[in-house]
Amino acid sequence: MDIFLQQLLNALSLGGTYALLALGLAVVFSIIGLINFAHGELMTVTGYAVCFALIWGLPFPLAVIAGLAVAMTAAFLMERVAFRPVRGASGTTLLLTSFAVSAILRVLFQNLISARPIPVAIPASLSGVVTIGPLHLGMIQLISIIVTLAMLLGLNLFLHRTMAGRAMRAAAEDFAVLRLMGLRANSVVATAFAISGLLAGVAGVLWVAQRGSVDPLMGALPVLKAFIAAIIGGLGSLSGAVAGGFLLGFIEVILQAYLPESLLPYRDAFAILLVITVLLFRPQGLLARKTLVKL
Amino acid sequence: MKKSKLLMLSTAFVALASAPLMAEDLVIGLATAQTGGLAPYDQPNLAGLQMKIEEINAAGGIAGKFPIKTIIKDTRSDSAQTAMVAQELVDAGAQLIITPCDADPSIAAGMITQGAGIPAISFCATTPTLPLAVGDYMFSNYPADNVQAAMLAAHAIEAGYKTAYILTSPDTAYTLKLPQYFGQVFTAKGGSVLGEGTFTMGQQDFGAEVTKIAAMDPKPDVIMTSAYEPDFPAFVRQLRGAGVTTPILGSDGIDSPTTFGLGDLVEGVVFSTAGHPTAGSPLEAFNAKWTEKTGAAPDTIYIANGYDLGNIIEAAVTAADSLDPAAIREGIANLENLQGVTGPITYKGTNGMPLRSVSLVRIKAGDRDLVAQGQPDPADIPAP
């Protein structure tokens, strides 16, 4: 029983990270129909920012803030430079543009910074462990659960209580009508990217804290997981992305824990199989949006 | 006007490029990764090799008569691209091809070079089946997985460990086979393997796996894994976080500054690597030379490893006394006890995976503490 509870806690921690990432993808997709595969590179940018801030002698909390600011700026710039010129183009064009942005950034990181991972001095206090009865929880895992919940709550408040948030929700419903109401499309899209950058930044800090280094290619896998999570949840649905993230984390941890040893190498295949099963019954994802109108 | 100028310029370049070819130039084609997942290994190897080539050319070439000319093409860490680049290099007249630090693209390139009768050497592929998959013109330049595993297993027995748990990832031959070779040797020497866990590379989540290890009864005496960045730091953080203090054995993938930056978490971890700069060793001298040249100490053994590839080429061509690819192949295949900066290197009597010394290093207060160095007992090395 203790072991099961411990695995549940592990699932919550992993699912939380996936949820943060999927949410970052969904925020942008719900508004301009772009699946931003360069989202992972926003995490990498955050990692480098934190790393260099620490090297320049900033204390860790300030370095994290600097990292988040850089992530938001990078997301904002990405939109301005790469995605605004192709806004409204077909989904394929948008997708390919995001792949291009991702590939260009990776090569730049490899050749301008370093192809080899750079160590990040994570404070020793983050390596600690919290013991609750029979359960152990790493400090970083605990922080990721708390931060994920805080981010979800904050985003929810933002979307429902502020003008910019309402505009984003309206844009997700029907962009054309939003513009007819006299709201500036560019500022709504820019806000969406900034939020997506913040989510990528938070996920990036948690990711780097776990691995202790920044690597030019480190964004590839998380963005893939986020994509799967967003698909299970229903592309474009924010609550769906969160649900998808937690479900994917849960599936992965439970399979790892309870598959017999001989089948363990096929864990990812089983996980994807379960995802496909979900999609067979809910082709639009768990919490599909009813309207799929795009500009 | 502009056009004719361009034409003249390009003719001049062609003349410049081909003129030295007339002399007895050794043309080395590098089908290695400047970008992508293999760049972290290929780039430092290339930097080390280039340093050696500069030294050779400054001295008038190999044996004073064969200057080296390199053609470097990026493979983007993609196997299909590696094969294509290898073909281009063969067509460009390369007499020796260098392939990336991994068996898969090296096999892809090897299919081309073997057919063309041109020797190919992988920068640092460790999979012992590589030359078997390609043929007699394929070599590697690094201690093989089964050699490292045999060293680690001998150490585990010596340290008194009776039981082990191995953690593998089916994602690469290295992360899968090295721990399994370790298990084979460890069992053959009287130990027993209590279980084998797996992980997905890059996932960074070991929660479920660590919970299983923590619940094991009886607990293993030692955990062996070939996980490296980012998996190894995440694993060790989560393992120690779950209160498991079992000693860990690792392999050369974790020989990186990130590992040493983990502080108390990695205290006591023992891993295998390709060299250790003991006082007065050639590696110490090489490190000093590199530091003097670049202003920074080498952050990975791959730089010295690339430099040693230059030593191998120099010795093989000197022995062949010819630039004929078949003669160079003979030269490499017959090298015995060549003194490289990382230790002695032997190809004679092997299938193309060199016999090289392996160092076992213990992490102690953020620094290296040499545990053992040398080659394992040949009888211990498991068949690939």
Query: Which DSSP string corresponds to B264-333?
Result: GGGTT-EEEES----TT-HHHHHHHHHHHHHSS--SSHHHHHHHHHHHHHHHHHHHHTS--HHHHHHHHH
Q: CATH says B2-143+281-353 is which class?
A: alpha beta
Q: What is the dihedral of CA B370, B371, B375, B378, to 10 degrees?
A: -170
Would you give the DSSP letter of residue A263? G
Q: Is B90 exposed, middle or buried (0-12, 13-18, 19+ CB in 10 A)?
A: buried
Rounded to whole angstroms, the Cα distance separating B181 from B193 reads: 12
Asked if B359 and B151 touch (Cβ cutoff 8 Å), the reply is no
Characterise A234 by phi-psi region: left (phi > 0), alpha (psi -120 to 50), beta (else). Answer: left
Q: Print the domain residue range for A228.
A: 2-281
* Nearest alpha carbon to residue A57 among A125, A121, A109, A140: A121
Per-residue pLDDT of chain B (384 residues; tens, 9 = 90+): 444 554 454 444 444 444 444 458 999 999 999 988 899 999 999 999 999 999 999 999 999 999 999 999 999 999 999 999 999 999 999 999 999 999 999 999 999 999 999 999 999 999 999 999 999 999 999 999 999 999 999 999 999 999 999 999 998 899 999 999 999 999 999 999 999 999 988 888 898 899 899 999 999 999 999 999 889 999 998 898 888 999 999 999 999 888 998 888 999 999 999 999 999 999 999 999 999 999 999 989 999 999 999 999 999 999 999 999 999 999 999 999 999 999 999 999 999 999 999 999 999 998 999 999 998 888 899 988
Searching chain A, which residue's CA lies closest to the CA of residue B39?
A: A115
- A120–B contact, CB cutoff 8 A: yes
Q: Identify the pLDDT of residue A293.
A: 47
B165 strand-pairing partners = B195, B223
Find chain A residues with C-beta within 8 A of B258's C-beta: 117, 119, 211-213
* pTM for the model: 0.86
Query: Residues 6 or more apart from B69 whose CB is under 8 A from it?
Result: B20, B21, B25, B26, B27, B28
B69 strand-pairing partners = B27
**Residue A122 belongs to a domain:** yes
Q: From the list B44, B208, B237, which residue is nearest A10 (CB)?
A: B208
**Residue A104 belongs to a domain:** yes
- B189–A contact, CB cutoff 8 A: no
Find chain A residues with C-beta within 8 A of B229's C-beta: 117, 211, 213, 215
Characterise B352 by phi-psi region: left (phi > 0), alpha (psi -120 to 50), beta (else). Answer: left
**Residue A187 belongs to a domain:** yes
Contact at CB, B40 and A215, closer than 8 angstroms = yes
Residues 271-290 of chain A whose Cβ lies under 8 A from any Cβ of chain B:
none
User: Which CATH number belongs to the domain containing residue A254 in this structure?
Assistant: 1.10.3470
Asked if B300 and B255 touch (Cβ cutoff 8 Å), the reply is yes
Residues 143-182 of chain A whose Cβ lies under 8 A from any Cβ of chain B:
none
**Residue A293 belongs to a domain:** no
**Residue A214 belongs to a domain:** yes
pLDDT tens, residue by residue, B198-231? 998 888 889 889 989 999 999 999 999 999 988 9
The structure tokens 């010295």 sit at B304
Complex ipTM: 0.84
Percent of chain A with pLDDT over 90: 60
Rounded to whole angstroms, the Cα distance separating A38 from A140 reads: 25
First to last CA, chain A: 51
- B183–A contact, CB cutoff 8 A: no
Element spanning A139, H or E: helix A139-161
**Residue A294 belongs to a domain:** no
Contact at CB, A129 and B242, closer than 8 angstroms = yes
- How near does any CA of chain B get to the CA of A61, in Å? 19
Count of domains observed in chain A: 1
Query: Residues 6 or more apart from B193 whose CB is under 8 A from it?
Result: B163, B164, B165, B166, B183, B186, B187
- A141–B contact, CB cutoff 8 A: yes
Helices (H) and strands (E) in chain A, counts: 11, 4
A158-161's contacts with Cβ under 8 Å and 24+ in sequence apart are A158/A195, A159/A238
Contact at CB, A211 and B200, closer than 8 angstroms = no
Q: From the list B39, B202, B243, which residue is nearest A136 (CB)?
A: B243
Q: CATH says B146-273+359-380 is which class?
A: alpha beta
- B230–A contact, CB cutoff 8 A: yes
Q: From the list A136, A215, A220, which residue is nearest B241 (CB)?
A: A136
Rounded to whole angstroms, the Cα distance separating A253 from B224 reads: 22
Provide CATH 3.40.50.2300 ranges for chain B. Answer: 2-143+281-353, 146-273+359-380
Q: Is the dihedral of CA B334, B337, B341, B342 positive or negative?
A: positive
Q: Is the dihedral of CA A258, A262, A263, A266 positive or negative?
A: positive
Q: How many CB pairs under 8 A join A and B?
A: 130
- B60–A contact, CB cutoff 8 A: no
User: What is chain A's Cα-based Rg?
Assistant: 19
* Nearest alpha carbon to residue B124 among B290, B309, B255, B276: B309
**Residue A288 belongs to a domain:** no
Contact at CB, B230 and A215, closer than 8 angstroms = yes
Q: What is the dihedral of CA A231, A232, A235, A238, to 10 degrees?
A: -130
Rounded to whole angstroms, the Cα distance separating A61 from B317 reads: 57
Alpha helices in A56-138 (DSSP H): 60-78, 91-108
Contact at CB, A267 and B198, closer than 8 angstroms = yes
- How near does any CA of chain B get to the CA of A251, in Å? 11
* Better-scored residue on pLDDT, B221 or A179: B221
Find chain A residues with C-beta within 8 A of B40's C-beta: 115-117, 215
**Residue A221 belongs to a domain:** yes
Find chain B residues with C-beta within 8 A of A217's C-beta: 36-37
